Amino acid sequence: MSERESMPYDVVIVGGGPAGLSTAIRLKQVDPELSVVVLEKGSEIGAHILSGAVVDPKSLDELLPTWREDGCPMAETPVTDNWHWHLTRGKKYAMPHIIMPPFMSNDGNYTGSLGNLCRWLAEQAEALEVEVFPGFSASEVLFDESGAVRGVVAGVMGIDREGNKKPDFEPGMELLGKYTVFCEGARGHLTKRLKAQFNLEADCQPQIYGLGIKELWDIDPDKHVPGRVIHTQGWPMSESDSWGGGFLYHQANNQVALGFVTALDYKNPYVYPFEEFQRWKQHPDIRAMLEGGKRVAYGARVINEGGWQSVPKLAFPGGVLAGCSAGFVNVPRIKGTHTAMKSGMLAAEAIAAAIKSGREQDSLDEYDTAVRESWIAKELKLVQNAEPLVAKWGGEMGTILAGADMWLRTLFGFGIAKPMKHHTDASATDRADHYRPIEYPKPDGVISFDRLTSVSYSFTNHEEDQPVHLVLKDSDYPLRTELPVYAGPSTRYCPAGVYEYVRNEDTGAMRFQINSQNCVHCKTCDIKDPGQQIEWTAPEGGGGPNYPNM
């Protein structure tokens, strides 16, 4: 391979989401002389960002106090109306706000595109002379002789499907930093390696996840209520041995963001999260809002659901984890932007102080301590048993117990149980012979749609002649185990139709096919595959979805 050029910085940040950009901005606020670079694998900042989103402005207020007056798109739509519905097949029941802990209120929050918020944050970072490199995928962590992180390799391009160099081959660059901050989002591929390398999860529970599938719709202006926020639970998950919930947010310009989150610890391998979402849209009260409207975008991404007990050690020689790479989502609130941003700010402050004192590539344990003494920890400890109680006792009884636990922690500082344990989502998957296949309704092409048509609304594109970035560790595993034992759940849990079993018409033989061009980088396969044989790795920079304003 050609010799790589290297570029030295004070701080290298992997990931141009809310955490990474907040880290960069805070670094420059503390010390304008620091050299800072942000690497983003999407074709532009925001291209791979997907969230509901309803944002608690707590961290924005701290980082950039005049954001409301400075053109931030999130300021367009404050939350004006907040509902929580329990759904049955044909009805809805509004849950009174008085039974919910005060922190569940959305008063003072804002709804809008998290991707557009990141685009605006990138402008603020660049105005402070942060270097932002979109389309620059970090594919490898670099270590020094002592084992400390010294940076990453990014920008490797021009390798064909068989691993050969093409005429436009680029070996990538070494981006070297005194400290490297990993803000890759949930289930980051480099973060996964770092957790193993430094045993960062030795003293915490395994991280668990939900799969969020989202659409944007332009709806009838007469049905649009700017700032209205609706969350649902119950049907249809109540019928499929799984749990999760829906959301519908009325945002700017007569647009609604709607979606469905399926907890990935479901047992029944026949559960099909994409189809659960399509069923949910057909509920009379959801359908009524969408009729006469038009879908304009689609996407999917996993969400951390492990809570406080799944937060790993955050610092290691030469680097730190921040944002959803570490896992700071408040599951009952369905919010993680404010905690992700705050973690990035705390990382920046610790890094700037360390560099000022002449340190580099050591372990910033003071950052780990700062997070654990911050309001991030206080907020997440209040809700740390909500997810495991629902997972253990089911949607109805679990919700009651979770509510009781949150109220007790809010009022008295203790819950109905000690911090509960998790098991991995992969290990939760049960054998197919314990269940019957689920028959999902066919799409009507008006409210519900098929999966491949939906993927076209994510504007996903990958260079076809490149190595398949979804690596199957054991090529015999799908036909030996995944299909006969689990009925091929990869063909259902993937929201982009990446995996399929294809039968040869002449011989009748079956083969496993990976359509990696479809991948929307949600990371579900890396998480849910019961044999943990599928590994998500980085494709060429710029590949993947191109979300306009998700």
Directed axis angle between helix 337-356 and helix 365-372, to 10°?
Answer: 140
Nearest to 138 by CA among 148, 149, 128, 130: 149
Task: Give catalytic status of residue 519 as yes or no.
Answer: yes
Catalytic residue flag (residue 240) = no
Does residue 204 carry a catalytic annotation?
no
- Of the listed 180, 325, 522, 524, which one is catalytic? 522
Q: What is the DSSP string of 49-67?
A: -----EE-THHHHHH-TTT
**Tokens matching residue 47:** 């291209």
Residue of 337, 339, 399, 491 with catalytic role: 337
Other CB atoms within 10 Å distance of the CB of residue 90: 9
Quick check: 213 and 550 in contact, CB under 8 A? no
Asked whether the beta carbons of 156 and 55 are under 8 A apart, the reply is no
Q: Which of 22, 23, 43, 51 is catalytic?
A: 51
User: Which candidate in 429, 494, 516, 524 is catalytic?
Assistant: 494
Euclidean distance between CA atoms 96 and 81, whole angstroms: 13
Annotated catalytic, 118? no
**Which one-letter DSSP state was computed for residue 306?**
-
DSSP annotation of 19: H
**Six token digits for residue 418:** 């000690």
The set of residues, in sequence order, having a beta carbon less than 8 Å from that of 14 and lying 6+ positions away, is 20, 39, 138, 152, 180, 181, 182, 183, 184, 188, 190
**324 catalytic, yes or no?**
no
> Which residue of the set 301, 333, 451, 492 is catalytic?
301
Tell me how far apart the alpha carbons of residues 542 and 120 are, in angstroms, rounded to a whole number: 19
CA distance 436 to 102: 41
Cite the active site residues. Answer: 51, 301, 337, 494, 519, 522, 525
